[in-house]
A and B are shown apart, each in its own frame.
Chain A
Amino acid sequence: MSDLDEQPQAEPGGYAPSVAERLAFYQRAGGVITPLLTVVLAFAAGGIVVLATGHNPFKTYKAIWDGTGLNWFFQFGHHHIDIPFTNHQVFFWWNTDTNALTAYNLTQTVLLTTTLILTGLAVAFAFRCGLFNIGGQGQYITGAIMAVWVGSSFAHMSHGLHVVFAIAAAILGGAAIAAVAGFLKAAVGAHEVITTIMLNWIAYWTGSFLVGRGGPLQNTTDVSIPISPDIAPGAHLPAFWGNPALQALDVGFFIALGALVIFWLTLNRTTLGYQVRAVGFNPEAARYGGINVARNYVYAMAISGAFAGLGGAVDILGWEYHIGVLDIQVSNIGFIGIAVALLGRNTALGVGLSALLFGALVNGTSTRGLDPNVFPPELASNLTLMIQALVLLFVGADVLILYLWQARKKLGRRRPAPETAEAVT
């Protein structure tokens, strides 16, 4: 029997749908196509801007691509490569030289992707509970500070234990500061967007105080520099690829991949995830179902914060080794996480892919990544911000994208899909 008479109910005329509701709708209707279209549109619009500055957009995007280091994967041909642990070389069809510039660029891209996966998950998890976590940045800083603190203390702890301890502290720190927002929402209904922004500033200034001049976490070797001491070598994450003299890739990347799996498992295979999703889709139905909605707000925020805090830890333990006031004040990795989550539609796979996109984009347009002869890098980093902003804008303008998509479909097949017809009327 057909059920076409009863479309999924739109909001009864009375109110504007919340961000979370709009996003849920976007997720349902868009599938994979809308995010892709969003990216293509953003890049096209970015290209127009490049053109307006008098540069060739195709050459510019090619240079950005080269700057990401992702071309490392495509260096086919005849190459001499080293045989490990010997001085011999053999011919190989793929250049695996880790000393090359491309390899270095790739390392940078993967390091950024690692952190963006974690700050992206921090936004995505909260979103699945119907919460908009703007606080990824503050949670990230908290995690980084905790990692620095534990990493630079306890110098005699054994290697593995020290790493685990530092990571655990960072996770707890991120979770705790995020849980404050969840608790305020649950207890007095304070909106999480406001409270997480406020907590960002708390983390920002507390962190600046701690490692700033005269702060309790400042280094003791040169007290004129507002920077923390280096963490003990025993707290470093081991590197697995690349040249440690330049900057090697550490196992933090695998930790981030593991976090993607944990994210998926938690949401889809645990009772907590079931609750979080139920609350995210329909808090009223969740409450009716016997789920404690307030408690889930706290849990979801804490888990979100744990992801961002872990992001801070892998940066510190992986390659940064210390944190300075300047690092805290110029960092925006937590905010890029919002774009990552939105573009990734708050799914594990989506966040992974969009973290790679943004990681590559940020690195490819950086002053060290981009060939200054093709496009001035100081303009290029603005291009990153622009593309990021366009992605956010287009995600917000979900209905517009759907409309464009549907218009295309109409031209192609002359037959609108029943569920999207509702969206544009």
Chain B
Amino acid sequence: MVETTPPVLELRGITKRFPGVLANDRVDFDLRKGEVHALLGENGAGKSTLMNILYGLYRPDEGEIRLNGAPVTIDSPHAAIAAGIGMVHQHFMLIPVMTVAENIVLAAEPRRGVLLDTSAAERRVRELADQFKFHIDPHALIRDITVGQQQRVEILKALYRQADILILDEPTAVLTPQEAIELVEILKRLVAEGMSVIFISHKLNEVLEIADRVTVLRRGKKVDTIPTAGATEASLARMMVGREVLFRVDKEPAKPSEVLLDVENLHVFDDRGLEAVRGVSFHVRAGEIVAIAGVDGNGQTELIDAITGLRRASEGRIRVGAEDLTHGSAHTFLEQGVGHIPEDRQRRGLVLEFTLAENLVLHDYAKEPFSKLGFLNPRTWLAYGRRLLTEFDVRGGTERTRASALSGGNQQKVVIAREVSRDPRVLIAAQPTRGLDVGAIEFVHRRLIEERDEGRAVLLVSLELEEVLSLADRILVIYEGSIVGEFDPSATEEELGFAMTGGRQPTALV
């Protein structure tokens, strides 16, 4: 039945060139009324460019856009909104100090004279929220509500402007699993009301779950458009990457030897002064990967900070090899051979304004040969950078490129290159594959196993159970700041999920 519905939107032969890059190469795309159509591709495949063209942010070099069969020109977001196209960006465009209602009506406010008609605005917002069963308080300030709720505000903003086509740019990247489930329900209600949704993603499972059809892009070209019925994660991954992707990394059994990281009865406070880590003890041996699994916000961040010298432990002991580093600074930990792939590569792992060469020497700029007697020797950095970028297959830039210009996957490769090439004894990887596409995930996983086999002690902290199960030799589950159980990798997701929620029935797991 879906097959006979005419397309509400058609993109024909869209080509977009940027200096030196063909971002979109004669891409066709069509959207039917009442469907969720996923746009799938690796980082840098041209998904966002295509949608920015549709939303009027870029102008195509070739090709045309048709709405309900008639060709249209969309040369600004304004024109896109007028044509009934709404877009929810990955980074929300909301004003934190204003209320939900004020944000939604912004630029199209109901007025009474020259003043904003606050009550009318709130009434309209409430009506819309009720119609689509959004649970949201129009009076709340944006800065006080969760990210998931902010996203709903963005969706309401589009609905308020009478969009009937909604573009969502990687909407689940910022959501907790529970919020992701709620988003799926919202999208189902929207399409039931006759809306059409374009859903940009690189996560295979959610595409299969949410979308009716999926269009796969690879390096700016459309690979195919297929119905999700009958597709599998493996088949989509093959289309996306262009080759078979191994979801489970092959690995030899671990050969653990001496203890390299030893944590005893660690207590750590978070920024608000609450005890986030409550008496954690564990150890990691050379040649094994120990994973810490848990739902986000159960003390993982504070634990990692403490065992890398970025946060003081209030109690307990941390030893790396034979050294007691409990009161060491970040510098001491680095000197003692602790490598750290941080949770947030953009906020912490990289200085985005620095070149890749500068970023690669972030820990060692003060050492020979990178500097001598306090004077830098940038030439050695460039050579070093070039070598590492080749070795770790970083694409999209040279050693002189600014880190901000790289895609997320390549940025992560730079971080990994830096940490691994310092030859650390202990490697701490915090959510190392967050936001990466399948190809990059495979790279990171393989690399972590290699590092284990080199005889490093690897501590993996991850929210992704699948990742934990496929990489770890031992699994510790953290819940409310305590280690509540140890499992071996033959455990099932259900067992882990049960422990991760403190023994309650798992609900928040996708």
Chain A residues with a Cβ under 8 A of chain B: 1-16, 24, 28, 268-274, 277-278, 281-282, 284-292, 414-416, 418, 421, 425
Contacts and interface: CB of A to CB of B under 8 A. Distances in A.
Nearest to B174: A12
Contact of B404 (A1, A8, A285, A290): A8
14 contacts: A3-B406, A5-B43, A6-B48, A7-B48, A13-B91, A13-B94, A13-B142, A14-B143, A282-B350, A284-B347, A288-B342, A288-B348, A290-B362, A425-B77
B395 A285 contact: no
B349 A2 contact: no
Given A9-B91, A281-B351, 17 more contacts: A3-B396, A3-B397, A3-B405, A3-B407, A5-B49, A6-B48, A11-B91, A13-B150, A14-B96, A269-B375, A271-B376, A285-B348, A287-B310, A287-B330, A288-B342, A292-B331, A421-B52
B353 A281 contact: yes
B47 interface: yes
Nearest to B21: A2
B44 A2 contact: yes
Contacts of B266: none
Top 5 closest pairs, chain A to chain B, by CB: A13-B92, A8-B404, A289-B362, A290-B331, A3-B396
A285 to B, nearest CB: 5
B374 interface: yes
B331 A285 contact: no
A169 B406 CA distance: 47
A161 B77 CA distance: 67
B43 A278 contact: no
Contacts of B378: 269
B146 to A, nearest CB: 11
B420 interface: no
B461 to A, nearest CB: 15
B358 to A, nearest CB: 8
Interface stretch (B230-238, B363-371, B446-454): B363-371
A3 B363 CA distance: 26
Contacts of B91: 9-13
> Chain B contact residues (Cβ within 8 angstroms of A): what range?
35 or more
A182 B59 CA distance: 48
Nearest to A421: B57
Contact of B347 (A8, A16, A285, A292): A285
B375 A270 contact: yes
B408 interface: yes
B222 interface: no
A312 B44 CA distance: 53
A391 to B, nearest CB: 24
A5 B396 CA distance: 12
Contacts of A12: 91-92
A1 B219 contact: yes
Contacts of A272: 374
A2 B371 contact: no
Contact of B352 (A14, A282, A288): A282
Contacts of B48: 4-7
Contacts of B49: 4-5
Interface string B316-360: 000000000000011101110000101000111111111000100
> In terms of DSSP, what is the predominant structure of the interface of chain A?
loop
B352 A2 contact: no
Contact of B44 (A3, A14, A285, A421): A3
Contacts of A15: 96
Nearest to A282: B351
A274 to B, nearest CB: 5
Given A287-B310, A416-B58, A271 B371 contact: yes
B82 interface: no
B329 A292 contact: yes
Given A10-B91, A13-B94, A292-B331, A2 B47 contact: no
B407 A284 contact: no
Contacts of A9: 91, 346, 352, 404
Contacts of B334: 290
B310 A288 contact: yes
B18 A2 contact: yes
B158 to A, nearest CB: 15
Contacts of A14: 96, 143
Contacts of B23: 2, 4
B86 interface: no
B406 A6 contact: yes
Given A278-B354, A281-B351, A287-B330, A2 B220 contact: yes
Max chain A Cβ within 10 angstroms of own Cβ: one of B22, B77, B362, B378? B362
Interface string B129-162: 0000000000000110000001000000000000
Nearest to A11: B91
Contacts of B410: 3
A6 B340 contact: no
A6 B407 contact: yes
A3 B408 CA distance: 9
B353 A271 contact: no
A177 to B, nearest CB: 25
Contact of B350 (A7, A268, A285): A285
Nearest to A269: B376
Max chain A Cβ within 10 angstroms of own Cβ: one of B329, B354, B378? B354
Contacts of B349: 285, 288
B93 interface: yes
Contact of A281 (B46, B47, B333, B352): B352
A5 B45 contact: yes
Max chain B Cβ within 10 angstroms of own Cβ: one of A12, A24, A281, A285? A285
